[in-house]
Amino acid sequence: MAKMIHSMIRVLDEGRSVDFYKKAFGLEVADRIAFETFTLVYLSNAESGFELELTVNQGRSQPYALGDAYGHLAVSVAELRDEHARLTTLGLNPGKIIELNRDGKLFALLFFLTDPDGYKIEVVQRYGRFQ
């Protein structure tokens, strides 16, 4: 059986991205591996063994085109409204809180946050299937 281990995104500025993911989600650098033309930075926290891999291509100065196929990363939090307030205080500009209902019942409580490279991150309340 396959095990999900990481998702990769390309970022323009390593320090800016590491700082964002630390402030926003408590992710720390688990490993950093430099190659001749690029660097891989693995971020994680104690909540999960899943990692976010940042790929930093040396000499890149233009932002990446995210394209129309990219969806989003998702994280779950215990108290969504508290997390929204914390991110707002940090100046990270989370989107509005969305209550998603299905068949008259709460399906998900969520908001989106955008990282420095334009990637969307869904922040969802731990509830139902989103544990």
Architecture, CATH, for domain 1-59: Roll (3.10)
Q: Are strands 73-77 and 48-57 parallel, antiparallel or unpaired?
A: unpaired
> In the chain, pLDDT over 70 holds for what percent of residues?
98
pLDDT for 6 beyond 70: yes
pLDDT for 25 beyond 80: yes
CATH topology of domain 71-131: 2,3-Dihydroxybiphenyl 1,2-Dioxygenase; domain 1 (3.10.180)
> Do 71-131 and 1-59 fall under one CATH topology?
yes
The mean per-residue pLDDT over the stretch 104-117 comes to 94
- Amino acid 67: pLDDT: 84
- Amino acid 117: pLDDT: 94
Q: Which of 47-51, 89-93, 127-131 has the lowest mean pLDDT?
A: 127-131
Dihedral angle, C-alpha 81, 96, 75, 21, nearest 10 °: -100
Task: Tell me the domain boundaries of the chain.
Answer: 1-59, 71-131
- Amino acid 2: pLDDT: 64
Instruction: Render pLDDT for 61-92 as a digit per residue (tens, 0 to 9).
Output: 999 998 876 778 899 999 999 999 999 999 99
Question: What is the rounded distance in angstroms from the CA atom of residue 123 to the CA atom of residue 115?
Answer: 12
The mean per-residue pLDDT over the stretch 38-51 comes to 94
Nearest of 74, 58, 64, 62 to residue 121 by alpha carbon: 74
Q: Is 60 exposed, middle or buried (0-12, 13-18, 19+ CB in 10 A)?
A: middle
Nearest of 120, 101, 104 to residue 112 by alpha carbon: 120
The mean per-residue pLDDT over the stretch 111-131 comes to 92
